[in-house]
Structure 1
């Protein structure tokens, strides 16, 4: 199985600019999505380098009416102390993600429950998937949810992406999207509606992925401070590294 790093993680943004220090990713289709409109540092900046890069991104985003700044830092490295102090002083939200991998053969078998049906999304399930995803994405605002809906439609037409939907008692309950690469399959956007949580819906969703791609390494990124990562550990996912990130919402002028 492939040895995985953050370099294997899919990003919707395209490279707007690259230097020896960072890659600037930009997604013109979804300007308000933080995760595809950001600067990813290739090496850890000092405070002067960060300030210069911050101004560059600030000016770039303001020109396009984008109201956020996001930076990711090199994997498995702590943020330099002076940079960290600046981020805290200027009101950035600082967090980290963790990368997990699994050989599908190591995923614990889930006892099938008759009330749970998990299916790859086809034309007949697409509207259910779009409506359920819109409901989930609405926590980030109606504009984001509407734009994400259009993005999901594009992904449905793209063979690189595969959308999966779970029904509980015939009711849409959860879903996920996967990104298919040569040697990996990335689970993205796994969610289960609150009323259907703790009913093994997430496990059934993942099991379909494992059964469908037994010869690929399955990967996912978890919020380092959220509880779902504990579920992944219990399911035999292996920890493969961490990455710090910082986000700030710009004030309206």
Structure 2
């Protein structure tokens, strides 16, 4: 089985336009979801090319009442000093993502815990899942959280998505989205309520995937500057690459 790339990570959004330089993703169903409304460069742009693309996206988003600009760059390439200086001068936040993968038999979990139960979401507990994710998503604003409710209900009806819910002592404590393809299983939106953290819930959510899909490669994306990636490294995930991105809210 080949090494995963960021191309194996699901992008929620429609390809609005594509040329030799970039793909433009647009998602009118949730305009506030920045990860669904952006431009992904297929090769590293020059400063001139970036500025032209920036003006295009700015005008497009203005028509759709969107206040953000987001750009992703090719896998495993860092923008040069000239671009980085332009990002700084123009008020962009610069960050990078890291792609991790693991074979389920290599996963180093924290062991079973009697107080933790993890199961696939059904009609019976769908509202528990949605309510818990709503609380997590509120940190990005009420509008974003409400949009995620609709997205979660839509995905629940799609067979390539599995919603997973963890309980601690009978109380809803953690959620996770799983996206299934032929060779890979992607873990996304893994979140544990703050009051239940450091109890092994995140590990048990991942263990659910390892047990359910022993013959797949499990993949996920972590923020390059956040501490969760250190947990993945301890659990024996391997890094398959990185991707730079910039974002600005006007």
Asked if these proteins are the same fold (TM beyond 0.5), I'd say: yes
Residue equivalent to 1:241? 241
Deviation string 1:180-223 (CA, Å, 9 cap, x unpaired) is 11110000001111111110000000000010011111000000
Shift of 1:109: 4.5
Alignment partners' CA distance in 2, 1:83 and 1:187: 32
Q: Does 1:96 align with 2:100?
A: no
Q: Residue 83 of structure 1: CA displacement?
A: 1.4
Counterpart in the other structure of 2:171: 171
- After TM superposition, the structure 1 = structure 2 runs for residues 1-253 of structure 1, keeping only pairs within 5 Å, are 1-250=1-250
Aligned residue for 2:125, secondary structure, equals helix
> d(CA) in 2 for partners of 1:122 and 1:110?
26
Native 8 Å contact 1:61 1:68 kept in 2: yes
Q: Cα distance, 1:114 vs. partner?
A: 1.0
Instruction: Structure 2 unaligned segments of length 5 or more: list them.
Output: none
Q: Distance in 1 between matches of 2:91 and 2:167?
A: 41
Tell me the distance in 2 between the aligned counterparts of 1:58 and 1:11: 21
Contact 2:166/2:174 (8 A) holds in 1: yes
Shift of 1:88: 0.4
TM-superposed deviation, 1:84:
1.2
- The separation in 2 between residues aligned to 1:125 and 1:209, in whole angstroms, is 19
Residue by residue, what CA displacement relative to the aligned partner does 1:8-32 show, whole Å, maximum 9, x if unpaired?
Answer: 1101111000011110011111100
Whole-angstrom CA distance in 2 between matches of 1:181 and 1:53: 32
2:162–2:178 CA contact under 8 A, matched in 1: yes
Q: How many residues align?
A: 250
List structure 1 runs of 4+ shifted beyond 2 angstroms.
Answer: none
Query: Hey, what's the Cα distance between the residues in 2 that align with 1:242 and 1:193?
Result: 28
Q: Secondary structure at the match of 2:211?
A: helix
User: Structure 2 CA distance, aligned partners of 1:177 and 1:2?
Assistant: 23
| TM-score, normalised by the number of residues in structure 1 | 0.97
Q: Secondary structure at 2:29's aligned position in 1? A: coil
Output the aligned Cα RMSD.
0.8
CA distance in 1, matches of 2:212, 2:2: 17
Structure 1 unpaired stretches of 5+: none
Aligned-pair CA distance for 1:34? 0.7
